[in-house]
Chains A and B, each alone.
Chain A
């Protein structure tokens, strides 16, 4: 069942998501059909009523029609209201299903690299929301139109066969051909204007975001001229294409008008030849007049389909991605319990993000003894964060081994590994919830006393206590109500709540200003206590406290040793500390080597 579905287009697969809610949808479509049919039926019945009344029958002959007409006046509104409620409810239920599906899938595939950009995540979420749009605006109207249209054509055929056929042809043209053609024209003009839109947007971003630079360098006039040129191009294109888009509206009006004309022509001829009575003629003509209400919502539905298809394609692109981390399966029990703590050994680690791409890590090796403080430094793009991703089990190595206490990390399930190794990923996420909930993520059973204790250790307790709601304070979207330094401290507090014996801190001080940077780093290291710490950073300050420093360039360790040892030798580390002026970096430099040597004494045996 599932495999043939995958071969279909994204729209079909989106519909597949709605299958469990099929009966609700059927009900919604039925209500929609009843609503439209009431509208058309009202006019048909009224035509019969009036045409019959003209023959002056007894009042009794009209009484049923009178009651029915009044009833139809109410059913349309009621049915429309119910239809809206039912389809929206079904669509929202399907959306919930789709979100769980997408979430489940994302939770199983590598969560770091592909979805790192915030824009991508936002787009993925709105693509998921497109399922709702497809069902409410893309699926229900055509199905309801199909039902009502069939009924109207049956009525027409019963009255006069050629009239029914003409009506069928008109409805097909107006409900299928015109909307599809109009949607195609709309997409074509959209594509044509895309380049002009892109240029306008780029020019605007430059003029508005770059305003200080432009004004300082006297270049604002040129930037505004560029925006106006781009605007002129886009406006000219839009005005040219307006004619094409007008064709859709004209097509709908023409099909409806000519169908009416044909019906009158056929009807009058039939009345003349005696094959049709005057009363059925009135019914047929007014039915043909009202019938185009059925297809009225379809051009809008067709126009949406293109965008929905694109959303679906992107969505299934994500859902079809194979997992990047092998999960040998089993929880703690089946894997023989938690990992035995011990030294971390990384040997010949190679990782790349795709078959054709360069190696992000190319034979990297390092050791972290229990309780040791180790820093990994290097220029941006050298592969440092990929190492953190491997240790967090966000990625599997392409070759090489990572062992903790002798156990290969890829031989256990990611969750088992993460019980032993935790920390702070790059840009740690704070959830739009309370301080308490954000902390309990790491230890759901933690008591408030434990939370205050850990906040104390990251020196955040005073700040949180000063907030009106204490632990129940909302942190805001992305932790927006907290400063950058506080967010990092909160993320570290979370890591400290785990039982992990090795904490990996991936660039914990980027985006912080220099004052906060030093204070946060000092507190981080102090709070880690006797746990091992692997600090990934491009910031060369404060490395005197580390037991060992590894310099990673192009995915390989080019140097390692203590801060003092590395400074004493020629190489990247020493060059990186060199400053342009002859007596560079006067501030702290003379004092550092002694402290560094002192720290070197605690170097663990596992490190050279």
Chain B
């Protein structure tokens, strides 16, 4: 594990500035530490030699000045470090969001939750790393070196003791850490499982209660918790060894220096002031290393967070699809899918395998098939969220890949199976595709989508905020908000993905009415596993295992 990820320095300019400020503060602090040690030695030495307050007044006053300066420096360094942390997080967050939103969306949508966590709480791990760990790391490099130089000039034997033990600390810590890591990794699965047991039984309590096992399980909770404790302690006994080595080496070295200096003083080889200076500085040489050790955990979390960020930044964001051609305006478009194949990266079986589909302008088709047959993938290709591996899609006779993707999507209304509603007002949600639409247009769209009555019953009507992910509305009502978006857009092509799956009958009926209205005169593709839709569309095509089957019978010619 590297203490500082070079990519972090390269990517975030705030990190570079922070490092500069931190080194400057570290140098100043090192100077103050040396000065304070010298002042204390001077005061005690002077008093021992019989000097009084009048003689030592200036030196003692200087101790107060150093105290004030150290306080001021601590304030400045901490404030600057926290500000840097905020700035670094902001830079990384913006870069991440820009990066993941440039390309087409990830239709599988699996990573969205992880990304949202990474960009908020995940980045917070950098706070401690940047504001506490990095400054300590700088001090750990500066202070021991400065102390060693000063002590060497005062007493070379003490310098030898410190110089010999200091490098041992990182070596021993690395050795212990290496051993611990191997062991912890072996135990990790066990620890994880034992640790997760309590959550598992609490979540499963209703099930346990139902089978009259709830009370019996309490003994198991005790047993597993005890096992967890034993396993954890086994790991900790080793993990704490690194701190043990650090403490023993650091303290023992100070003790050795103290005894050595004392004995040399006894034989008159050293002055009292020099001896005191060496004694006061010796612990200072080890303190930053101990602090770095104590912040080791914070550093690991920070580095892990940075690594996650760069893992995302370094994956290709999927460039914006190519194509610049504009499609001349026309009512309804002609969609022709010809021998299209598509395989998701990392999967063996293609999602679509030689799919052909013909939807003349103004007609609608139901694509029917079991789940996993590639229905949603087909819609994603039409939306240019994905590009086919082979075959071609033509719109009004022109290859889809030549069309400007944004202009093309502006002609489509897509109602996904689980439309996303935003933390905004009802009207704001309906206006998704047309932010400048007037209130009258929004209400018209809502009426067409059978949504107006629902909105009218809300406390603030169209100005009611829907909460995160539209929590205020039921699944069927959310579906109708998505339909209202589609109506407001007045599209040429309508793409509907399982519009009524998982809806209760009342809501499903309303959605059906709205969909029938939306399809009127437009080109439409409805993807559904529901024979009832055959009544609403012109043609039926069956998709199985990524292949189109000739439809058993077109309902209405």
Contacts and interface: CB of A to CB of B under 8 A. Distances in A.
Interface string A4-36: 000000000000000000000000000000010
Given A54-B272, A69-B258, A89-B233, A107 B53 contact: no
Given A106-B202, A264-B40, A379 B506 contact: yes
A212 B275 contact: no
Q: Kindly list the 9 A-B residue pairs having the minimum CB-CB distance in the complex, ordered from nearest.
A: A257-B67, A73-B255, A77-B248, A576-B505, A96-B225, A429-B204, A46-B258, A210-B420, A242-B82
A576 B506 contact: yes
Contacts of A278: 44, 47-48
Given A89-B233, A247-B75, A209 B469 contact: yes
B83 interface: yes
A581 B419 CA distance: 24
Nearest to A244: B79
**Which of A203, A234, A235, A381 has its CB near the most chain B CB atoms (within 10 A)?**
A235
Interface stretch (B144-152, B237-245, B345-353): B237-245
Given A216-B412, A583-B535, A510 B502 contact: yes
A542 interface: no
A577 B506 CA distance: 9
Q: Which residue, of A47, A251, A423, A510, has the highest number of chain B Cβ atoms within 10 A?
A: A47
30 contacts: A46-B258, A46-B279, A53-B275, A54-B48, A54-B272, A66-B262, A73-B253, A85-B233, A92-B225, A92-B228, A95-B229, A96-B222, A103-B198, A208-B112, A209-B420, A212-B107, A212-B109, A212-B385, A249-B74, A253-B73, A268-B43, A268-B46, A272-B53, A392-B209, A419-B212, A422-B210, A431-B204, A432-B193, A498-B211, A576-B506
B105 A212 contact: yes
Interface size class of B (residues with CB under 8 A): 35 or more
B199 A239 contact: no
A605 to B, nearest CB: 30
Interface in B493-548: 501-502, 504-507, 509, 512-513, 516, 529-532, 534-536
A204 B105 CA distance: 14
B251 A39 contact: yes
Interface in A182-203: 197, 200-203
B198 A125 contact: yes
B343 interface: no
Contact of B414 (A47, A111, A216, A249): A216
Contacts of B44: 51, 278, 281-282, 285
Contact of B74 (A38, A62, A252, A576): A252
Contacts of B233: 85, 88-89, 92
A269 to B, nearest CB: 6
A441 B213 CA distance: 7
B187 interface: no
A513 B251 contact: no
Interface stretch (A218-226, A399-407, A559-567, A591-599): A218-226
A92 B229 contact: yes
Contact of B101 (A224, A269, A441): A224
How big is the A interface, by class?
Answer: 35 or more
B207 A428 contact: yes
B531 A587 contact: yes
Given A66-B262, A580-B512, A431 B200 contact: yes
B52 A268 contact: yes
Contacts of B40: 260, 264, 285-286, 289
A550 interface: no
Given A88-B236, A125-B198, A246-B76, A107 B433 contact: no
Interface stretch (B91-99, B359-367, B388-396): B91-99
A578 B201 CA distance: 44
A62 B201 contact: no
A38 B66 CA distance: 27
A217 B83 CA distance: 37
A245 interface: yes
A312 interface: no
A442 interface: yes
Given A219-B433, A494-B211, A586-B534, A271 B47 contact: yes
B308 interface: no
Interface stretch (B5-13, B113-121, B322-330, B455-463): B113-121
A493 to B, nearest CB: 12
Contact of A514 (B64, B422, B530): B530
Contact of A100 (B77, B83, B210, B225): B225
A579 B120 contact: no
B116 A282 contact: no
Contacts of A432: 193, 196-197, 200
A43 interface: yes
Given A50-B276, A112-B206, A380-B474, A66 B259 contact: yes
B157 interface: no
A107 B215 contact: yes
B221 A253 contact: no
A74 B409 contact: no
Interface in B13-56: 36, 40, 43-44, 46-48, 52-53, 56
Contact of B532 (A213, A380, A587): A587
A581 B112 contact: no
B232 interface: yes
A122 interface: yes
Given A84-B240, A100-B218, A207-B101, A107 B210 contact: no
B400 interface: no
A382 to B, nearest CB: 9
B72 interface: yes
DSSP class of B's interface residues: helix, strand, loop or mixed? helix
A121 B199 CA distance: 7
A278 B41 CA distance: 12
A212 B416 contact: yes
A482 to B, nearest CB: 15
A535 B225 CA distance: 38
Interface stretch (B174-182, B263-271, B299-307, B333-341): B263-271
Residue of B225, B237, B268, B422 most packed against chain A (CB within 10 A): B422
A285 B63 CA distance: 12
A91 B222 CA distance: 14
B273 to A, nearest CB: 10
A71 to B, nearest CB: 8
Given A257-B36, A432-B197, 18 more contacts: A53-B265, A70-B255, A74-B248, A77-B247, A85-B233, A208-B100, A208-B112, A214-B105, A214-B420, A216-B412, A219-B433, A249-B75, A265-B53, A286-B40, A380-B504, A478-B203, A515-B371, A584-B535
Given A204-B97, A249-B74, A217 B489 contact: yes
Given A380-B474, A585-B532, A50 B406 contact: no
Nearest to B489: A217
A213 B419 contact: yes
B207 A206 contact: no
A220 B435 CA distance: 12
Contacts of B505: 379, 538, 540, 576-577
A53 B261 CA distance: 9
Contacts of B245: 77
A283 to B, nearest CB: 10
Contact of B244 (A77, A218, A584): A77
A505 interface: no
B142 interface: no
A205 B116 contact: yes
Contacts of B529: 513-515
**Max chain A C-beta neighbours (<10 A), residue from B116, B212, B233:** B212
B208 interface: yes
B442 interface: no
Contacts of B213: 441
A23 to B, nearest CB: 17
B222 to A, nearest CB: 5
Interface in A117-145: 118, 121-122, 124-125, 128
B516 A242 contact: no
